[in-house]
Structure 1
Amino acid sequence: MVGAADRAKRVARTSVWLSGTARRVRAPRRGAAGAVGLDRERITVAAVRLLDAEGPAGFSMRRLAAELNVTAMSVYWYVDTKDELLELALDAVFGELELPDAGSEEGWRDQLRELATGYRGLLVRHPWVPGLIGNLLNIGPSAMAFSACVRQVIRKTGMPPDGRTGAMSAVLQFVYGAHVGGAETRERDFEFALELLIAGIETKVPPA
């Protein structure tokens, strides 16, 4: 029977954010052909671009190396596995989100609309993201900053503590399920449904 310690070790080995790999800087080997100017940021940007163009099915380390005009081994000097690179790419796109200042005087309704709309825009621009969220640990710094901001905005609603997790899940799961498409009618439907969701949250907030 697998114990908790063994499970924790297995998770740490399979996530760039828990294994320490994300903080490790590995220099290219001396004399490596084609590796000049290569770094983790450039690799991650290229990975996002390739995923946008071809999706996870068309993504491979060899294909990425060809895009960068380097050898596949050069890429492995900066990441240990393909999954590590996918985790880095996933967090990189979460870094595109402009988060509201949850500590400001701005109303929670506008901030919640901003977060939901921004998250949906991310999923529309990068349709490969939902599949990775379901298969990889999405615990990079940008993703965690987004989650923390949503949590802070939900707290501003005045929702009792025992209802905040449910409210947060309702918002994120709603957006996650509504990410496909972008036509005017679908946009209108999304905005209407979001207003219904906000109105529903308001009904659960105790009177001041």
Structure 2
Amino acid sequence: MPERASVKPFTSVWTRERKGPREQGLSRDQIVRAAMELLDAEGLDALSMRKLGAKLGAGATSLYWHVANKDELLELVMDEVYGKVTVPEGADWRHAASAFAYGLRGAILEHPWSVGLIGVVPGLGPNALTASDRLVGSFAGGGFAGTGVDYAVNAVIAYTLGATIPEVSWLNAIKSAGTDIAGMQAAIGPTIERLASDYPSLGERYKSYTGTDFDPTTARRLAFDFGLLALLDGLETRLPHST
């Protein structure tokens, strides 16, 4: 049998003993805050330890006192993103699921670079684990049992990410093109109409939104509301007491 490739041992910033600030040095919070500012301004590809050090006016030694490498830094900044997802303690499962979904969507929209890290950087920090623990607890307390708890929680997470990530990717594309939503729609409109000529029902639906007061931002929010409500209604039918 072929030998199994050795797997590099997994390490996490959260398992390292946290060091205090060096004398006259930077704190970990300062480093994370500066990294978030850099990411928000320039995106994920712009982040490097060297660039972060330059922004802080500090050498690499000050940074590596708190994080061993860039991967650990990314763990820290992602937990800051998850810190914006507030799930009320003791909330019923529908309230908790809604708070989680809207909170995660808002956090991703506020920090669009996070799309490139979701599913790549593990969410093992205190903010991520607190939100997850409360969400799981609310479903368990609401009547879901066994693996049903995990399936329900995963459905909420999958819906939120599935609805939000394409939206952020679209907004990122608009930003990269140096235009706005209206400009992008005007640019691609003729192409869509031409390619949709063999699909008249789709073409008519597209035309029905042009030349109106249609607001794409509001429409995406309403679509998210609709999908989330439909999902929660469907999950409720899985409860033992549902008829």
Would you identify which runs of 4 or more consecutive aligned residues in structure 1 move more than 4 Å?
A: none
Q: Choose the corresponding residue for 2:61, options 62, 73, 80.
A: 73
SS of 1:41 mapped into structure 2: helix
Paired position in structure 2 for 1:11: 10
Q: Choose the corresponding residue for 2:76, options 76, 80, 88.
A: 88
CA gap 1:2/1:16 in 2 versus in 1, 3 angstroms: farther
SS of 1:143 mapped into structure 2: helix
Paired position in structure 1 for 2:233: 199
Residue pair 1:109, 1:198 contacting (<8 A) in 2 also:
yes
Paired position in structure 2 for 1:188: 222
The Cα shift of 1:26 comes to 5.7
Paired position in structure 1 for 2:50: 62
Where does 1:20-35 land on structure 2 (aligned, <5 Å)? 20=16, 23-25=17-19, 28=22
Separation in 1, partners of 2:162, 2:80? 21
SS of 2:10 mapped into structure 1: helix
Paired position in structure 1 for 2:158: 173
Separation in 1, partners of 2:21, 2:113? 30
The Cα shift of 1:149 comes to 1.1
Unaligned runs of 5+ in 1: 31-35
Normalising by structure 1, report the TM-score: 0.83
Choose 166-175 or 89-98, whichever is displaced more: 89-98
Q: Choose the corresponding residue for 2:110, options 83, 100, 125.
A: 125
The Cα shift of 1:156 comes to 2.8
Unaligned runs of 5+ in 2: 169-215
Separation in 1, partners of 2:59, 2:147? 52
RMSD of the alignment, in Å?
A: 2.1
Paired positions, count? 191
The Cα shift of 1:60 comes to 0.7
Separation in 2, partners of 1:156, 1:170? 17
Between the aligned residues of both structures, percent identity stands at 38
